[in-house]
Amino acid sequence: KGMPIVTNKTGIGYVDYVLWGKDGNLLAVVEAKRTLADARKGRHQAVLYADCLEAMHSQRPVIFYTNGFETHIWDDTFYTDREIHGFYTQDELQLLVDRRATRKDLRNYKVNTAIAGRDYQIEAIQRIAENLVVDGKDGSLRGAKRESLLIMATGSGKTRTAAAIVDMLTKCNWAKRVLFLADRNALVTQAKNAFKEHVKDLSSIDLTKEIEDSSTRLVFSTYPTILNKIDKVKSADQRFYGVGHFDLIIIDEAHRSVYQKYKAIFDYFDALLIGLTATPKKEIDRNTYGLFGIEDDNPTFAYELNTAVEQGYLVPPKSISVPL
């Protein structure tokens, strides 16, 4: 009840679908259009329903609008709407709603210098925080960008920086489960060991070697392994991982081949994306910037080899000519 009289003379509206939590509280509203119609046609109607349901149940539902082919999610208390691969599970939606009260401002977080204590590492983490969050018009906390790209020279501590970012996002209640992707098994193992050392309190698993029960906080995997997990149906017609299972995906060595071959992974999961690469700005393929939705040559943060050498953190390479 409570629909605008302009829209509905009786003031009564009929919602297509309402998704409820285990506690009987309202989680989401779904506006479903015919497959021939544009899904966005349902956007305004869905907001009207959400307004009425919020007045009735004292909780703002997450909004979905779809035509069966395209599905959009809109948690209008925090983010703008975006297209996603499918619907969140009940638990994933509950977490989304709970975060409205528990999420903290990343910009106020004091970086754990025991994990990443160098000036440039701290700056990288702060840049990520500024990229992810913004002040709303009413002074409330709002989500800004969902993709970030860090360019850091090899040996400057990319993995440590990533571990400190995970530490920040988990402690500020932005991320519960994290997926770390690398293109070789050795890099997956290396990353898992480093994270184990720096963020000890989070359970972790190497998906290429161990069996996952879907409750692990840190999942390390190669691209083909996670793709198999997405493609295989677990049981009762459900996938092993839901669309909203991971809150954050970290992509190690984010470069062109990743984008071309494995874009399906990033299309499927509705997660924050952070890319790590050592490739100097000018040589990065344009697709990398496209994947992170940023302008060419304008990463979230860059710390390149020449700067690292100048500051004494790295030594320049020496070239040796070898007769053939």
Q: Three-state SS across 9-62? A: CCCCCCCCEEEECCCCCEEEEEEECCCCCCHHHHHHHHHHHHHHHHHHHCCCCE
What separation in angstroms does the CA of 229 have from each of 16, 36, 212, 239?
A: 31, 32, 10, 8
pLDDT at 13: 87
Q: Give the span between the Cα atoms of 28 and 33, in whole angstroms.
A: 16
Report residue 199 as tokens.
């963020």
What residues are paired with 188 via a beta bridge?
Answer: none
pLDDT tens by residue, 174-205: 999 999 999 899 999 999 999 999 999 999 99
pLDDT at 284: 59
Element (H, E) at 96: helix 90-102
Place of tokens 């009413």: 138
Residue 168: which residues within 8 A CB-CB, separation 6 or more? 106, 109, 111, 112, 125, 128, 129
**Model's pTM, two decimal places?**
0.92
For residue 255, the 8-state DSSP code is: -
In the chain, which residues have pLDDT < 50? none
Residue 116 CA, chain-centre distance (Å), reads: 21
pLDDT at 287: 65
Type of residue numbered 216: T
pLDDT at 139: 87
φ, ψ dihedrals at 18, nearest 5°: -120, 135
Q: Are 199 and 163 in contact (CB under 8 A)?
A: yes
Report residue 144 as tokens.
């800004």
Q: Is the dihedral of CA 291, 297, 299, 303 positive or negative?
A: positive
Residue 201: which residues within 8 A CB-CB, separation 6 or more? none
Q: Are 174 and 132 in contact (CB under 8 A)?
A: yes
pLDDT at 31: 96
pLDDT at 283: 57
Q: Are 48 and 3 in contact (CB under 8 A)?
A: yes
